[in-house]
Amino acid sequence: MAYKSLFSVLTDPKLAENVLAHGIAIADVIDAHLDVLCLGVDRSQTGYYYAGANAMVLQETINRAQEESEEIEAKAIDVLKSSGIRWGTDTGVAQLADIGRHVAAHARFSDLVILPQPYGENRGAELEPVVEAAMFEGQTPVLVVPDEGAPRPKPKRVMIGWNESSEALNAVRAALPVLTYAEAVHVVVIDPPAHGPNRSDPGGLLSQYLSRHGIRAEVDVLSKTLPRVSDVLMRHASDIEADLIVMGAYGHSRFREAILGGATRYMLEQAKLPVFMAH
């Protein structure tokens, strides 16, 4: 299935231009429609500091968020109006604790959600729940794009992080329209189990599945020579000069990954190239 409906959420005007550049490039190549939600976020967290607040204080936070959403939309329209693609924008205001509902309502009717990296310097607290809402509540694959680097709507070399999980398989299935563009697809397996049905041919069944879609893949079996799986994946992506990483997201609970760290969190924080994720 081709992607025909792309979606993005903008909550920070400083990140808007880069995200829109990737969305426009993809929409142009595959003739898709790009919808953009320009969201003003009320970060005051009702329930924490409003014990004695009056209505004027409450209204002020809403007004500020509304102005923010209008500023983001104006910037988005300025970029999109000369793009040559089909597009639409919408605005909204959401409290930080309720942002997932607004994102999921749009994402669930999209084929792919394009978002900025949620971690790093000068990143708002709302970016992480936006990514999670798109994948979990919206049940839509997400392309997380880095701050630097030109858009690559037709990636030539794609790396798949493969660990036999249902999350990884869902990501591969969702990425099939992208994988068909690739000249080389690397299925990366790190420390495959010594026992199990696929121990003699790790990644073999996935390669067979991809070949039936006309995608030729080679399997790279690696040892975990660095402390984190994400470090090994990133180093290999650099070694093969990958344009895109495809992987499953949140194999553990989101709470556990937020507290203890995990491959999903580290990849979203460290990746210097786009990461395609699904749960």
* Cα distance between residue 216 and residue 155, in whole Å: 14
Q: Would the CATH topology of 5-145 be identical to that of 157-278?
A: yes
The predicted pLDDT at position 59 comes to 75
Distance CA 120, CA 233 (A): 19
Domain extents for the chain? Answer: 5-145, 157-278
Phi, psi of 241 (to 5 degrees): 55, 50
Tell me the fold of 5-145: Rossmann fold (3.40.50)
Of 139, 228, 220, 212, the C-alpha closest to 184 is 220
> In this predicted model, what pLDDT tens digit does every residue of 193-252 receive, in sequence order?
776 666 668 899 999 999 999 999 999 999 999 888 899 999 999 999 999 999 998 865
Tell me which fold the domain 157-278 belongs to: Rossmann fold (3.40.50)
pLDDT at res. 57: 66
Residue in 247, 230, 129 with CA at minimum distance from that of residue 187:
247
Report the alpha-carbon distance of residue 229 to residue 22 in Å, rounded.
27
- Looking at residue 120, what is its pLDDT? 82
The three-state secondary structure class of 231 is helix
